[in-house]
Amino acid sequence: MARESKKDPQDLSIEEKLKNLYQLQTMLSEIDKIKTLRGELPLEVQDLEDEIEGLTTRIERMQADMAAIQEEVARRRVAIQDNKANIERYNSQLDNVRNNREYENLTKEIEYLELDNQLNEKKIREATAAMENKQEEIRRCSDNVTERRTDLDIKKSELDEIISETRAEEEKLRERSKALEATIEPRLLSSFKRIRKNSRNGLGVVYVQRDACGGCFNKIPPQRQLDIRMRKKIIVCEYCGRIMIDPELAGVQLEKPAEEKPKRRSRKKAAEKTEG
């Protein structure tokens, strides 16, 4: 006997479409639970990686600043040596001056060069202090990078362990969900995914619970509940936008509220009523 060909998703009844959607919702919820097991680890790993990258960039920037400072210090040291050579030369010329004007000019040049050397020495001291501060900052950042890398290795190890434990189950669920998605018409599937994305708990399909929406728990009018049970059209909650189905279609057995038993009158009260 030839195997029956698969139905076109658009040819399915509303009841079949809703059933497939709820089955898909159930599988995706299981995948969400697996992701929840990982907790905040993926975010913590990402934060540590970002922090390490930021610290590394900061270290590289400070190292570049130190190289520039070292170049400036070297340039000022050369300037000091040149000034000293010129001062020595001008001092030797003072012994051979021919007039006061020439003497004053040489003296002013010497004073200027000495002041320039004082300024260069001051700048060198400031630059040296700045380099020491940057070296200390680099050491501190390097220590932080080492600590963060240790934390990152631990977090990654924990995350990899959890992923390895749940990978097989997650892959199986993803394969089944993909196969199920092929049975749902694209427009309905797209709407379902959009609803799931906008809901905090990831529920796109919910069943009626205690005359209320199972997603936002707002009351549903009796006529609308009847329409949901009839399964003649796809109905969404007017408050949260989730697709609603009846519990029976979801395979959920809801407990019926217990009926209140009539209170028994005590013999004393009954007697008093009879006497009255």
Is a pLDDT exceeding 80 seen at residue 4? no
The pLDDT score that the predictor gives to residue 134 is: 94
Question: pLDDT digits over 36-94, tens only?
Answer: 777 778 888 999 999 999 999 999 999 999 999 999 999 999 999 999 999 999 999 88
Token pair for residue 247? 């519990």
Mean pLDDT of 260-269: 53
Confidence of residue 272 (pLDDT cuts 50, 70, 90): low
Share of the chain above pLDDT 90, in %: 46
Is a pLDDT exceeding 70 seen at residue 260? no
Of 37, 38, 117, 126, the residue nearest 84 (C-alpha): 117
Collapsing DSSP to helix, strand or coil, 237 comes out as coil
Mean pLDDT of 246-256: 76
Q: Cβ–Cβ contacts within 10 Å for residue 11, how many?
A: 8
Is a pLDDT exceeding 50 seen at residue 3? no
Is a pLDDT exceeding 80 seen at residue 31? yes
**CA angle (51 as vertex; 47, 53 as ends), nearest 5:** 120
Instruction: Read off the pTM.
Output: 0.54
Residues of the chain with CATH 1.10.287.1490: 10-36+185-250, 40-165
Fold of 40-165: Helix Hairpins (1.10.287)
CATH class of this structure's domain 10-36+185-250: mainly alpha
